[in-house]
């Protein structure tokens, strides 16, 4: 695909181009106290100038790093471009990280300046400042907060409000005419535009340095592929430190010139989506799983006629909906009935999900189960997958309209090349590959080979049409003792399609059988229990109920039936499982901040449970230390039942 030329080659110059071309068009919206506030492109450009000059007045210089921490707020996105305007580098951090995690990245990136959202983040940063001092690095000289609530009497050195920063910026700009414009003009496309820290599934996070050129190319490819531009709307609600948000909410926003919408809070995202009616949407599989769970709960509470109508039309949608969306031939009768279903079921359902105006939706960050993928496409949501890593600007493969395959992540995106290594690992080369890991030449050399290919660590295959199918993380793919390929993520995604199952971790490499840990979805299973008059006293109690174990066993039996019907998968059916006594949690190091399971850590932490699954026992006592949000620790214990799962003989196709 040949892409049209861009109006500028750095993000600050892209912002200036939009401010000149569509100065009065809406660039950013934020819902505050129930009212949507709007910034025009000209308004954003003015505020970015003030922030940048304010930082310069405090001593921020070219190639300094600026940490940004908080939820999706317009001022924080503006701070990203403000740092870049001075040839500085924004470093977004996860807002739910505790101080002990955050201090590593602050020290690693030698952060002196931070722009934070609110009191919660300022308190953590002040704690980080103390931890840094104890470690010998005297950083965090300046902390700027956006929301002043609760911070009026904070008088610690270097702590100032956002409005004060703007005042300093206006004064600096007036006294140093031309400074800002000269700084923007001096930037080059090969400058590092952002440092994004990896999720750290296998060790300490690494800072990924991406240039303006790489992220602009990634944003440009997506904008052109899906014909995005002014008039489109996107809801920005995922962590700013996640590469996917940076691709959609910064790179594509500044390339395409559409409108960014920030929700009032994480709890109001669904209501805010219904008000805005975004035309463009993105989220990791976990988000789509959560939405499906909410739908399932609503339908379980619905009257019998509504449940019957939903079941009837969803069966039709599962059969022909994806084909209709792809433009494939479908019989008149089915197409007619689907139209009725669209009026009475699918359309209202999309409206409940806030997707009534969605033209393009994407999921990425982890593999999505084909059943979950099929559900959304079957009800008319143009959900597609993109594939990439932090090291590739989340941009390697894109699914194009009319060419969506449920089992693949699409073909190579514009400007990208794919190759499968002899060991099955996916190798990529092209416009979006990282410049380097920050201060880690050793780690950079490990992932970039002499030919410029980035080694993704994923195992995959290319089909005859060039579509890439990701099997699993290469390090996680193994073999059963009898020789069958064991891809745990594939089985886990099938399990997580059920609204009652929030998380699953499967084991089986080198073993005779597959066993699994299960986390129930507390909301979905709690609703199910309440409708049946089943009392419970919290997660631990609910997870151990015999009725809940039977419910989970039924879900696993259905997955096993599917696996038995798939070629080469019958030996990977789940033989037995246990429902864990606690939810896997990033605060307990069991998951990353992007909610990816740290499989090796979980296996080691719960080794006694793994041994029990394979040791012929019927139950196992476990006591686990947990961390609370306020930093305190506690202990959770339970005796977990081990349940045998129903398995099926392999289905053999007739010769």
CA distances to 93, 124, 528 from 101, in Å: 10, 10, 37
Domain with CATH 2.30.38.10 in the chain: 283-432+449-473
Give 184 or 463, the one with higher predicted confidence.
Answer: 184
In percent, the amount of the chain with pLDDT more than 90 equals 67
The winner for highest mean pLDDT among 45-54, 90-99, 218-227 is 45-54
**Rounded average pLDDT over 359-382:** 84
Confidence of residue 600 (pLDDT cuts 50, 70, 90): confident
Q: How many CA atoms lie within 13 A of 17 on its CB side?
A: 15
What pLDDT does residue 367 have? 64
Residue 142 bridge partners (DSSP) = 113
CA dist 372 and 205 (Å) reads 30
pLDDT in tens, 241-286: 999 999 999 999 999 999 999 999 988 988 899 899 999 999 888 8
* Res 419 pLDDT > 90: yes
Q: Residue 280's pLDDT is what?
A: 94
Q: Decide which of 204 and 250 is more confident.
A: 250
- The boundaries of every CATH 3.40.50.980 domain in the chain are 44-185
Q: Residue 481 is encoded by which pair of tokens?
A: 């003792």
Q: Look at domain 478-644 and name its CATH class.
A: alpha beta
User: Which part of the chain has CATH 3.30.300.30?
Assistant: 478-644
Most confident of 50-59, 237-246, 343-352, 517-526: 50-59
pLDDT in tens, 548-558: 999 999 999 99
The whole-number pLDDT of residue 577 equals 97
Q: What is the DSSP letter of 549?
A: H
The lowest-confidence range among 104-108, 123-127, 138-142 is 138-142
Q: Work out the average pLDDT over 545-574.
A: 92
pLDDT, average across residues 601-609: 94
CA atoms within 13 A on the CB side of 129: 17
Residue range 8-32, pLDDT digits in tens: 899 999 999 999 999 999 999 999 9
What confidence score (pLDDT) does residue 152 get? 87
- pLDDT band for 101, please (50, 70, 90 cuts): confident
Would you state the pLDDT for residue 493? Answer: 85
pLDDT of residue 47: 98
Q: How many CB atoms lie within 10 A of CB 182?
A: 10
Residue 1: pLDDT band with limits 50, 70, 90: very low
The predicted model gives 371-378 an average pLDDT of: 87
Q: In the block, which residue shows the tokens 């904070």?
A: 154
pLDDT value, residue 164: 97
Q: How confident is the prediction for the chain on average, in pLDDT?
A: 91
pLDDT greater than 60 at residue 627: yes
Kindly state the average pLDDT of the residues 108-134: 89
| Structure token digits, residue 320 | 């022909």
pLDDT at 129: 87
pLDDT at 655: 38
What pLDDT, on the 0 to 100 scale, is given for residue 630? 62
- The pLDDT value recorded for residue 513 is 95
Q: Please, are residues 93 and 68 in contact by the beta-carbon 8 Å criterion?
A: yes
Asked if 261 and 276 count as a contact pair (C-beta separation under 8 A), the reply is yes
pLDDT number for residue 654? 41
Pairing of strands 425-430, 416-420: antiparallel
What the block records as the tokens of 76 is 């924080």
Are 638 and 597 in contact by the 8 Å Cβ rule? The answer is no
251, 248, 243: which is closest to 233 by C-alpha?
Answer: 248
pLDDT tens digits, one per residue of 131-143: 866 555 567 899 9
**Residue whose C-alpha is closest to residue 110's, from 85, 124, 89, 84:** 89
Mean pLDDT to the nearest integer, 45-51:
98
The reply to whether CATH 3.40.50.10480 applies to domain 283-432+449-473 is no
Distance CA(393)–CA(412), nearest Å, equals 14
Name the percent of the chain in helix, strand, coil, to the closest 5: 40, 20, 35
- Distance separating alpha carbons of residues 138 and 156, to the nearest angstrom: 15
Separation of alpha carbons 396 and 449, rounded Å: 17
Q: Could you tell me the fold of the domain covering 44-185?
A: Rossmann fold (3.40.50)
Q: Tell me the per-residue pLDDT of 287-319, one tens digit each, with 9 for 90 and over.
A: 888 888 888 888 878 888 888 999 999 999 989
The pair of three-digit structure tokens given for residue 358, joined into one six-digit string: 């969605």
**Mean of pLDDT values over 428-446:** 95
> For position 42, what pLDDT does the model report?
97
pLDDT band at 190 (very low <50, low <70, confident <90, very high): very high
Asked if residue 203 has pLDDT above 70, the reply is no
Burial status of residue 610 (CB atoms within 10 A of its CB: 0-12, 13-18, 19 or more): buried
pTM as predicted? 0.83
Range in 75-89, 230-244, 468-482, 551-565 the model is least confident about: 468-482
Residue that wins the pLDDT comparison between 270 and 630: 270
């Amino acid at each position: 695909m040949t892409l049209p030329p861009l109006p500028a080659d750095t993000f600050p110059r892209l912002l200036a181009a939009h401010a000149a071309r569509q100065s009065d068009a809406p660039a950013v919206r934020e819902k505050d106290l129930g009212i949507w506030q709007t910034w025009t492109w000209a308004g954003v450009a003015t505020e970015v100038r003030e922030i940048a000059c304010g930082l310069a007045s405090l001593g921020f210089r070219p190639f300094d790093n600026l940490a940004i921490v908080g939820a999706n707020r317009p001022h924080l996105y503006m701070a990203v471009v403000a740092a870049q305007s001075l040839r500085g580098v924004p470093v977004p951090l996860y807002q739910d990280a505790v101080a002990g995690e955050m201090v590593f990245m602050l020290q690693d990136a030698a952060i002196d300046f931070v722009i934070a959202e609110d009191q919660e983040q300022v308190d953590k940063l002040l704690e980080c400042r103390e931890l840094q001092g104890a470690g010998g690095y005297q950083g965090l000289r300046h902390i700027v907060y956006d929301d002043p609530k609760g911070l009026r009497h904070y008088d610690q050195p270097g702590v100032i409000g956002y409005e004060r920063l703007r005042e300093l910026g206006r004064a600096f700009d007036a006294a140093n005419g031309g400074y800002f414009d000269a700084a923007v003009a001096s930037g080059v496309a090969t400058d590092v535009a952002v440092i994004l820290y990896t999720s750290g599934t296998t060790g300490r996070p690494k800072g990924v340095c991406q240039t303006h050129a790489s992220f602009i190319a990634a944003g440009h490819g997506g904008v052109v592929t899906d014909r995005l531009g002014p008039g489109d709307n996107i809801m920005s609600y995922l962590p700013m430190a996640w590469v996917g948000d940076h691709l959609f909410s910064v790179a594509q926003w500044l390339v395409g010139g559409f409108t960014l919408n920030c929700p009032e809070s994480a709890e109001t995202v669904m209501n805010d989506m219904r008000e805005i009616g975004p035309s463009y949407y993105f989220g990791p599989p976990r988000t789509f799983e959560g939405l499906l769970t909410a739908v399932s709960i609503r339908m379980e509470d619905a009257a019998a006629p509504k449940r019957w109508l939903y079941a009837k039309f969803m069966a039709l949608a599962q059969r022909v909906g994806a084909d209709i969306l792809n433009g494939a031939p479908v019989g008149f009768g089915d197409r007619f009935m689907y139209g009725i279903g669209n009026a009475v079921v699918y359309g209202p359902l999309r409206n409940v999900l806030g997707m009534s105006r969605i033209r393009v939706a994407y999921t990425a960050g982890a593999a999505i189960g084909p059943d979950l993928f099929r559900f959304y496409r079957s009800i008319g949501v143009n959900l597609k997958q993109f594939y990439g890593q932090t090291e590739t600007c989340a941009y390697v493969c894109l699914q194009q309209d009319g060419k969506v395959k449920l089992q693949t992540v699409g073909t190579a995106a514009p400007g990208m090349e794919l190759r499968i290594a002899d060991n099955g690992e996916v190798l990529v080369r092209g416009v979006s590959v990282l410049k380097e890991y920050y201060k880690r030449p050793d780690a950079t050399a490990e992932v970039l080979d002499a030919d410029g290919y980035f080694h993704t660590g994923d195992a995959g295959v290319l089909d005859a049409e060039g579509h890439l199918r990701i099997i699993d993380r290469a390090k996680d793919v193994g073999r059963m003792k009898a020789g069958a390929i064991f891809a745990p993520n594939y089985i886990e995604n099938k399990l997580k399609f059920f609204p009652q199952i929030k998380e699953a971790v499967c084991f089986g490499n080198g073993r005779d059988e597959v066993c699994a840990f299960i986390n129930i979805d507390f909301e979905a299973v709690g609703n199910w229990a309440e409708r049946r008059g089943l009392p419970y006293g919290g997660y631990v109690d609910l997870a151990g109920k015999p009725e809940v174990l039977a419910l989970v066993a039924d879900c696993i039996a259905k997955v096993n039936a599917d696996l038995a019907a798939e070629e080469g998968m019958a030996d990977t059916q789940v033989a037995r499982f246990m429902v864990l006594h606690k939810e896997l949690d990033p605060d307990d190091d069991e998951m990353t901040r992007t909610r990816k399971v740290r499989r090796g850590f979980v296996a080691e932490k719960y080794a006694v449970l793994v041994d029990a699954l394979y040791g012929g026992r019927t139950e196992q006592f476990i006591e686990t230390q947990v961390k609370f949000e306020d930093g305190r620790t506690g202990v959770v214990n339970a005796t977990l039942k081990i349940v045998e799962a129903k398995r099926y003989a392999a289905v053999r196709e007739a010769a």
